A and B are shown apart, each in its own frame.
Chain A
Amino acid sequence: MQELKPIGQSALALPSKTHKNQSWGFFPVLTILVLIGPIVSGLVGTILPAFGGSFQSGLSALSFEYWGHLIETPGLARSAWLSLKTGLISTFVSLLVCLLLVASWQGTKIFLFFERLLSPLLSVPHAAAALGLTFLIAPSGWVFRLISPWATGLQRPADLLILGDPDGWALSAGLIIKEMPFLLLMSLAALSQVDTASRMRIALSLGYGQVRGWMLCVLPALYRQIRLPVYAVIVYSMSNVDVSMILGPTAPPTLSIYILNWMTDHDLALRNVAAAGAILQLALVLIGLLIWRLGEKLCALWTQRAISSGKRGAGQSDVIFRLLALIFAAASLLAIFGGLLSQVIWSFAGRWRFPEALPSSFTTRIWERHGASALEMSMTTLALALLAALIALILTIGCLEAEFRRGRVMQRAGLILIYLPLLVPQIAFLPGLQILLLQIGAGLGFWPVLMSHVVFVLPYVFLALSGPYRAWDHRFHTLATAMGKSAFVVLWRLRLPMLLAPILTAMAVGMAVSVGQFLPTLLASGGRLATLTTEAIALSSGGDRRVIGAWVLILSVAAWLPFSIALFVPRFIYRKRLGMLHE
């Protein structure tokens, strides 16, 4: 906080009425550097080796030999197609379910129930959700155990290709259950800026069904607001490594897995192939976004036709949509929480064979063996998360305050910059960043990992905080400055305390993001820094479900803990000032 002092003092000297204070302009610049620096240098570090260059030598001899190697990879075309397909399908389905749910259930008790569960759902790291899902849907998994042998007649599991199917359906399912809550949260935040109630009043009074009326009148305004988060979901779904490693096919795997394997191979030449693959991944993501964009246009066209057709869509179809939305949303919920529950049981399981619905014996052996190291690793993970979220928070508040004092809201370009880390596939620039870090002798370890986490934490913290921060009633500021308080005092004594709840929530979101990071931790630490996520994924290659279960549980608790603190602390601090809780 020290750096804030001189700024506050200089603010005293300014006429208190104006918001202008140039020194806060340093925050947006710093933020952009923190975000763009690693991405740009990482991309350069990726592109150069793909053509046979390096940081030291530049591009002295342009070479396409690695591209030849890339193209010769068995199943490359199928692998790229797989990435594209699973990415687009999972984004489409999760968006559709999310929109249907909002359209048909918003304002009801059922919706409130989903809303309550949103933050625990969001806090479950991708890897944990995927590992939970693995045991649920496998032919020898929990679902089959629960209905065997009485319903299926199976004493031994059927030879069904459910997990790791070549078409990536299991992978898509894993992505959908995790992305749906994220899109739901983004939609809820955006809806506050769309006057849903009056739009729906008109639509309903014209005789439109709930869902159709919402899709025609509210969605166009809402979609504009959530477009960037949707693009981020496309990019993540097309290029993720962790979910794909756990649920994705292996013959061939998605493109991102190929890149990771080349990147970590002992044959140095394969690193250049990995770089070429990363560029292919980047191009693939662009194609995916273009296809999506085309889809947007088609939907807009369809919407216009639907409006002029005059159909009201009330009655039966409305009920069907509402039911579908409910079934899908409930299924996602069950998949995540059911998966986690199964992991809890596994961590205490002794013997548990197919088709037993529950273990035939229980033991605490796993917890005795792993408890101590898990606790230690939780500390590292949480310390890393706390620092990353704190840095991101300071930068975010600095940016938002700069924006406030300059009196103009961030432009679209600024928003895209903030979103950039979510729009560029991790696998496309992290390998380059790792090479760069090594070449400048920065060493690998805690600090590079922290910086790489900040890159991914910052967008989420910004997204979570910017709404409430901007919505703060400016009249408080006017009132306080009229009483002779400096802008800094207003910020420190008034605005931040009043925004305590959203600030803590933003921290919690940021920490959950940091806890779930796999690739940045792996590559920037040289494997030396083990966090709960890297440990859980390393252990999942083994396949002792008891150990995996214990780590998944610890991982989820670590990600959820900040959320519960964010919920509890404001209630405690402001227990006698309920107006401060904004409820």
Chain B
Amino acid sequence: MKKLICASAFLAAGAAFAEPNPQNWDEVLKEANGQTVYWNAWGGSTQTNDFISWVGERVSQEHGVTLEHVKLTDTADAVGRVVAEKAAGKDEGGAVDMIWINGANFASMKEAGLLFGPFASSLPNWEFADADGKSLTTDFTVPTESYESPWAMAQVVFIYDSETVENPPKSAQDMLEWAKRNPGRFTFPQPPDFLGATFLKQMLIDLAEDTSVLQEPVGDNYAEVTAPLWSWLDEITPHFWRSGRAYPQSGPRQLQLINDGEVDIAISFSPGEATAAIANDQLPESARTFVLDKGTLGNASYVAIPYNASAKEGAMVVANFLLSPEAQLRAQTPDILGYGTVLNMEALPSADRASFEQLELGIATLSPAELGSSLAEPHPSWVARIEADWAERFSVAK
């Protein structure tokens, strides 16, 4: 009898160990039904949180998947959790089922073998994704190899208050001049906040003489390539908000600062954020956006599934739903989220395509033509060095 119990326990364990097969979508749907997916996603933005809870309602109705949003203050927290679980030998039943991820976090998780996959290209809705046109198969130059599934496009824009700023500065050099004339009216989120790191990259690209080297991993050329950035920062930092002795800790904090009238210009990674924030009374009606003359950085946001996730099937179902025209349309609606879609309009059924075409741009959102094509993200190794260097030079207030 004892043996029998042992054997059946072993069988049950064996079943739990079996990796889900993304190719067999019916089986995935069956297993996903009743699962609870803990989606670890940055929780600082009301609009995003609302969107995620809407996704939760939809996947629960359609597929019986319960979605719990674990609200992070930093994506690295979730990566850290998986790393800690791996170190402790917890190779199944992990606390994290899905992470909103890209860039350096993805690169380090993929390299450390902490991700489940490949799965993205097996998702049924992958056929709508604009994999080539929006370069969804590389993330900050690192090949995704289907270990993450895209769900939103982002591009750097700058939000400004048109009531107080007549001619927004459209290059790093103009920003310096503007900050000198308007001391204390501009700042950026403190790195290692991802938007803060993005700001440093954006300025580097705008100032560097040759940007092609940024696509390669960082080498001996680091000091030479980044020198213009540091001299620019040395010059502008005393003219920042609070003279650079304090920084906002996240992107949305900057919106608060604009709304309070403390600063006039803020960086954002979502062309639609300003419009949504105006609709939510988080920004004045006079808020508008602009991009730099030389163009701005763009990238895609993805979701990835840790290797030890407890609900891999459920997570795949959510990832697939995020790629559906329905979810993408809602994400792109200006006063809901205003994120760019990852879908290929040509691949969509005509009814869906028409819905996308009928979407109106928000009051503060630039048209695709005004946005221009986005610049590619540098290799993740650059930002790690730049962040450390910035901390060394500027994170201790003078």
Per-position 1/0 for A147-180, Cβ under 8 A of B: 0000000011101010111100000000000000
Restricting to A431-464, which residues have a CB under 8 Å from any CB of B? 434-435, 438-439, 441, 443-444
Contact A354 B395 (CB under 8 A): no
Q: Which of B65-73, B116-124, B296-304, B375-383 contacts A (4 or more CB under 8 A)?
A: B65-73
Contact A527 B81 (CB under 8 A): yes
Contact A250 B241 (CB under 8 A): no
Does B190 touch A at the CB level, under 8 Å? yes
Does A291 touch B at the CB level, under 8 Å? no
Known: A156-B164, A264-B77, A544-B46. 12 other contacts (CB 8 A): A157-B260, A159-B242, A251-B247, A264-B80, A271-B84, A352-B281, A363-B281, A369-B50, A373-B53, A538-B71, A541-B73, A541-B250
Contact A539 B44 (CB under 8 A): yes
Q: Tell whether A542 pairs with B284 under 8 Å between CB atoms, given A161-B242, A526-B95.
A: no
Does B223 touch A at the CB level, under 8 Å? no
Q: What's the Cα separation between A373 and B105 when bound, in Å? A: 29
For the complex, count residues of A whose C-beta is within 8 A of B.
59
Contact B245 A542 (CB under 8 A): no
Contact B395 A538 (CB under 8 A): no
Contact A541 B44 (CB under 8 A): yes
Per-position 1/0 for A54-85, Cβ under 8 A of B: 00000000000000000000110010000000
Q: What's the Cα separation between A538 and B395 when bound, in Å? A: 23
Provide 9 A-B residue pairs closer than 8 Å at the C-beta atoms, listed in order of the A residue: A159-B242, A159-B243, A161-B246, A251-B247, A264-B80, A354-B261, A527-B78, A538-B73, A544-B252
Taking CB atoms, residues of chain B closer than 8 Å to A530 are 70-71
Q: Tell whether A353 pairs with B261 under 8 Å between CB atoms, given A266-B105, A538-B71.
A: yes
Residue of A nearest to B247 (CB): A250
Does B183 touch A at the CB level, under 8 Å? yes
Taking CB atoms, residues of chain B closer than 8 Å to A297 are none
Taking CB atoms, residues of chain A closer than 8 Å to B88 are 435, 438-439, 441
Residue of B nearest to A350 (CB): B281
Per-position 1/0 for B255-294, Cβ under 8 A of A: 1110111100000000000000000111010000000000
Does B346 touch A at the CB level, under 8 Å? no
Does B386 touch A at the CB level, under 8 Å? no
Taking CB atoms, residues of chain A closer than 8 Å to B76 are 264-266
Contact A251 B89 (CB under 8 A): no
Q: Tell whether A156 pairs with B261 under 8 Å between CB atoms, given A74-B391, A435-B84.
A: yes
Restricting to A3-43, which residues have a CB under 8 Å from any CB of B? none
Q: What's the Cα separation between A161 and B68 when bound, in Å? A: 38
Q: What's the Cα separation between A546 and B255 when bound, in Å? A: 13
Q: Tell whether A527 pairs with B77 under 8 Å between CB atoms, given A74-B396, A353-B260, A543-B256.
A: yes
Q: Which of B44, B74, B95, B280 contacts A543 (CB 8 A)?
A: B44
Q: What's the Cα separation between A331 and B259 when bound, in Å? A: 28
Residue of A nearest to B43 (CB): A538
Q: Which of B50, B79, B93 contacts A266 (CB 8 A)?
A: B79
Q: Which of B109, B249, B395 contacts A75 (CB 8 A)?
A: B395
Per-position 1/0 for B45-89, Cβ under 8 A of A: 110001001000000000000001011111011111101110111
Contact A528 B38 (CB under 8 A): yes
- What is the predominant secondary structure among interface residues of chain A facing chain B? loop
Cβ-closest 8 pairs across A and B: A542-B44, A159-B184, A266-B79, A438-B88, A140-B260, A75-B396, A526-B95, A543-B253
Q: What's the Cα separation between A264 and B255 when bound, in Å? A: 26
Q: What's the Cα separation between A78 and B72 when bound, in Å? A: 28
Does A349 touch B at the CB level, under 8 Å? yes
Q: Which of B164, B243, B249, B262 contacts A139 (CB 8 A)?
A: B262
Per-position 1/0 for B221-255, Cβ under 8 A of A: 00000000000000000000111011111101111
Contact B256 A545 (CB under 8 A): yes
Q: What's the Cα separation between A78 and B264 when bound, in Å? A: 31
Q: What's the Cα separation between A156 and B46 when bound, in Å? A: 26
Contact A349 B281 (CB under 8 A): yes
Taking CB atoms, residues of chain A closer than 8 Å to B135 are none
- Min CB–CB distance B386 → chain A (angstroms): 14
- Min CB–CB distance B112 → chain A (angstroms): 9
Restricting to A514-547, which residues have a CB under 8 Å from any CB of B? 526-528, 530, 535, 537-539, 541-547
- Min CB–CB distance B23 → chain A (angstroms): 30
Q: Which of B79, B85, B108, B252 contacts A542 (CB 8 A)?
A: B252
- Of residues A78, A352, A547, which shows the largest number of chain B Cβ atoms within 10 Å of its Cβ? A547
Does A252 touch B at the CB level, under 8 Å? yes
Taking CB atoms, residues of chain B closer than 8 Å to A263 are 80
Q: Tell whether A159 pairs with B183 under 8 Å between CB atoms, given A251-B190, A369-B50, A542-B46.
A: yes
Contact B83 A266 (CB under 8 A): yes
Per-position 1/0 for A336-354, Cβ under 8 A of B: 0000000000000111111
- Min CB–CB distance B263 → chain A (angstroms): 9
Per-position 1/0 for A254-282, Cβ under 8 A of B: 00000000011111100100000000000
Contact B396 A251 (CB under 8 A): yes
- Of residues A538, A543, A547, which shows the largest number of chain B Cβ atoms within 10 Å of its Cβ? A543
Q: What's the Cα separation between A350 and B95 when bound, in Å? A: 37
Per-position 1/0 for A118-160, Cβ under 8 A of B: 0000000000000000000011100000000000000111010
- Of residues A252, A266, A438, which shows the largest number of chain B Cβ atoms within 10 Å of its Cβ? A266
Does A249 touch B at the CB level, under 8 Å? yes
Contact B43 A539 (CB under 8 A): yes
Q: Which of A252, A264, A527, A539 contacts B95 (CB 8 A)?
A: A527
Does B149 touch A at the CB level, under 8 Å? no
Q: Which of B40, B84, B241 contacts A434 (CB 8 A)?
A: B84
Residue of A nearest to B94 (CB): A526
Q: Tell whether A164 pairs with B396 under 8 Å between CB atoms, given A542-B43, A542-B45.
A: no
